[in-house]
């Protein structure tokens, strides 16, 4: 399973690399070399649910308790899943290309 490049429609990167993609730095497509990036809006939407669960676990449960650590784990997994399945990849505008897939 891998992320698809919006420019060449080939495999751009392994799915685990997409999970750690951020708006701060572009990554090249492994097939065509196009610079791929995500927008802040799509990134924040993708990690929103996991972040809320993480924060609720911090606020709701006693510090250092098993329940708190479990909610941290669930929040982290939800953040990764959001990035893998719900965060579209676009082409880097700085490279002179139009944004796609956002």
Beta bridge partners of 16: none
Based on the number of CB atoms within 10 Å of its own CB, is 21 exposed (0-12), middle (13-18) or buried (19 or more)?
Answer: buried
In this prediction, residue 94 carries a pLDDT of 58
Q: Are 19 and 80 in contact (CB under 8 A)?
A: yes
In this prediction, residue 95 carries a pLDDT of 54
Q: Are 13 and 3 in contact (CB under 8 A)?
A: yes
pLDDT in tens, the chain (102 residues): 788 888 888 888 888 888 888 888 888 888 888 888 899 999 999 999 999 999 998 898 888 889 999 999 999 999 999 998 988 888 876 554 444 444
In this prediction, residue 72 carries a pLDDT of 92
pTM for this entry: 0.74
């Amino acid at each position: 399973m891998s992320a698809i490049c919006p420019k060449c429609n080939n495999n751009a990167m392994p799915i685990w690399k997409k999970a750690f993609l951020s708006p701060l730095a572009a990554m090249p497509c492994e097939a065509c070399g196009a610079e791929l990036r995500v927008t802040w809006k799509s990134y924040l939407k993708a990690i929103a649910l996991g972040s809320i669960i993480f924060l609720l676990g911090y606020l709701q449960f006693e510090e250092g308790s098993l329940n708190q650590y479990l909610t941290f784990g669930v929040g982290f997994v939800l953040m990764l899943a959001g990035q893998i399945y719900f965060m579209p990849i676009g082409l880097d505008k700085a490279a002179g290309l139009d944004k796609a897939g956002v």
